[in-house]
Amino acid sequence: MNSSDTRLVYLVDDDAAVRRSVGFMLKTSGFKVTSYETGVDMLRSAATLKDGCILLDIRMPGMDGLEVQQALQEKGVLLPVIIMTGHGDVGLAVKAMKAGAVDFIEKPFAKETLISSIDESFQRLSRKEATDDRKKDANMRLQSLTPRERDVLEGLAQGLPNKTIAYDLGISPRTVEIHRANLMIKLGVRSLSETLRIAFAAQGE
Amino acid sequence: MYLKSLGKSATQAHLRSILATIPDALIIIDEMGVILSFSAAAEKLFGYLEEEVAGENVSMLMPSPDRERHDGYLKSYRDTGVRRIIGIGRVTTARHRDGNTFPIELSVGEARFDGKRVFTGFIHDITQRQQAELRFHELQSELAHVGRLTELGTLASSLAHELNQPLTAIANYCEGAAALLDAGPDAEQLEMAREALRDTAEQAIRAGEIVRRMRDFLSHGETEHREESLSRIITEANALALVGSREHDIDVQVRFDPDAERVFVDRIQIQQVLVNLIRNAIESMLDSTFRSLTISTQAGPRFLTVSIEDTGSGISETLAPQLFQPFVTSKQGGMGIGLSICRTIIESHGGRIGFEAGDDGGTVFRFTLPKAEVE
């Protein structure tokens, strides 16, 4: 393998089986993988991290994913971060995206989902300068939304569940669902994480 | 030969009036089991008139196997003098004229009558009491089941998270193995693919274990008291209760007293108590810097004690006196039924439950269970 084009993934998960299996799958897909059991382990070698993408579990003993993400930023490590979440961790995942994570994927995930998130991370890595463009692009796409759809998007970006958004806006949860579906069609996105990525890009990072 | 014919003295007239009015059935038999007297209440209870049963063997009022064995019981007493029922009494079954059997409480006494030995049997019908008790137990077990549902509701998100780990591993091992096989593997890659498949199987079993623990915990079922291993009960309950608590960095210590091992209990219900107490302990420690959970067992002369000690925030003095009352809770969104169900369960097992402040500001919950009798 030609080491200069081998893309590097740093994997942090406290569960040995997850670490081993995700590492195995990524290696068979042509990535180079370095695994860590805890965020502290990775932070210890933060200074020597090469360009690559960080795949971070959100629920871990000791430092959780959000804390690791923050500590990395404080150390000036600006590598793209993908958050792996479990069931019902959407609120946390939204926080992570606000803090600059490229994406969050819910366990268990399809191979394609993870690979496409990693691809997106590497694109971001190669065009750090493109942030302004993305902001412009995101703002343009948001133009197409109705005020109500923007309200719903605002709620989603705060990590609120549909029910709470409905309550805050004084509409039914069903109506929130309809707005949510419509705004995702208009934005041309298929997942909540993609939706949020646009919302946060528009706010400017 | 029965009492009516025994004589006409004032004492006997007196006795007759007692026999006619005592609320419990009274039957008097001779040494051979032949019925001498059958009170008015006995007539009503068994559906026979005194005239019909007097002179008959009392075993006609019993279902099998006592029916066939009663003569033997009497003979054994005549020969050995060892009292097995006289003066002790017991709950047993009687047989009505129509063939139906019903539960009774039987108290047997011994007396001399005209120089002959007779036995007196007081019989109290406990059909209604037994039905009430049965219903009570049914209600208790339903309540316990509702408690488990509530408990599992609060555990659901942790369990889902716990299940996602092996599922994630399975998906990735399979994808990785498939990628290796697609590429026309060499011998080494084939071996890697094989290993991944073995790891997959291991993870599938890990997922299955989580589901099994959850299903066992929810099983409806009748309450089933059996001789069980206390350490096994605790180990399983602990595994379930600690689901999802890994990220809280709790130091868990388990200490089993080897002499506190055999108990006669309904396993699921005792595990329900343990899960409840352990989850409470974990929750109380979330704001503590030092989080240590100690579960221990201790043998006593008649009872075994199980202690669950935490280093949490303790229990406020205002809450403490009524902690085991239903609908008392310190938890936001708590229903306050967990501990009251725990108490119901432990008391129905003949034990006690209580708590005290721990050495380091936390709380120690203790409950006792009767030792299983060793045959």
Is the domain defined by B224-375 classed in CATH 1.10.760.10? Answer: no
State the best of B154, B164, B167, B172 to mutate against chain A, taking most chain A CBs within 10 Å. B172
Domain ranges of chain B: 3-125, 133-223, 224-375
Subunit contact B199:A20, Cβ cutoff 8 A: yes
Q: Do domains A8-126 and A130-203 have the same CATH topology?
A: no
> Which pLDDT value is given to residue A205?
46
Q: What pTM did the predictor assign?
A: 0.59
Is residue B279 a contact partner of residue B241, using CB atoms and an 8 Å limit? Answer: yes
> Which pLDDT value is given to residue A5?
65
State the best of A11, A14, A28 to mutate against chain B, taking most chain B CBs within 10 Å. A28
Show residues of chain A in contact with B249, CB under 8 Å: 61-62
Overall average pLDDT of the A113-125 stretch: 90
Q: What are the backbone dihedrals phi and psi of residue A2, each rounded to the nearest 5 degrees, phi first?
A: -85, 110
> Which pLDDT value is given to residue B308?
95
Mean pLDDT in runs of 10 for chain B (375 residues)?
54 75 87 91 92 92 88 89 80 87 87 84 84 73 76 74 91 95 90 94 91 75 79 87 79 91 89 90 88 93 93 84 72 68 86 88 92 68
CA–CA gap between residue A17 and residue B166 (Å, rounded) = 7
> Which pLDDT value is given to residue A198?
84
Q: What are the backbone dihedrals phi and psi of residue B93, each rounded to the nearest 5 degrees, phi first?
A: -125, 140
How close are the terminal C-alpha atoms of chain B, in Å?
46
Residues of A with CB under 8 A from a CB of B: 14-15, 17-18, 20-22, 24-25, 27-29, 59-62, 64, 84, 86-89, 107-111
Fold of the domain spanning A130-203: Arc Repressor Mutant, subunit A (1.10.10)
Residue A108: closest CA among chain B residues belongs to which residue? B168
> Which pLDDT value is given to residue B10?
66
Domain ranges of chain A: 8-126, 130-203
DSSP-assigned beta bridge partners for residue B123: B25, B106
CA–CA gap between residue B247 and residue A122 (Å, rounded) = 30
What angle is formed at CA B268 by the lines to CA B264 and CA B274, rounded to 5 degrees? 95
CA–CA gap between residue A35 and residue A41 (Å, rounded) = 9
Is the domain defined by B133-223 classed in CATH 1.10.287? Answer: yes
Subunit contact A25:B173, Cβ cutoff 8 A: yes
Architecture of B3-125 per CATH?
2-Layer Sandwich (3.30)
Within 13 Å and on the Cβ side, how many CA atoms surround B49?
A: 2
pLDDT at A2 over 60: no
State the best of A21, A89, A109 to mutate against chain B, taking most chain B CBs within 10 Å. A21
CA–CA gap between residue A101 and residue A95 (Å, rounded) = 9
What's the gap in Å between the CA of A16 and the closest CA on chain B?
9
Q: Which of B161, B169, B171 sits opposite A59 (nearest CB)?
A: B161
Torsion of CA B131, B134, B139, B141, to 10 degrees: -170
Q: How far is CA B198 from the centre of its chain?
A: 42
Subunit contact A17:B166, Cβ cutoff 8 A: yes
Confidence class for position A3, pLDDT limits 50, 70, 90: very low
Show residues of chain A in contact with B161, CB under 8 Å: 59, 86-89
CA–CA gap between residue B168 and residue A57 (Å, rounded) = 12
Q: Tell the CATH superfamily of the A8-126 domain.
A: Response regulator (3.40.50.2300)
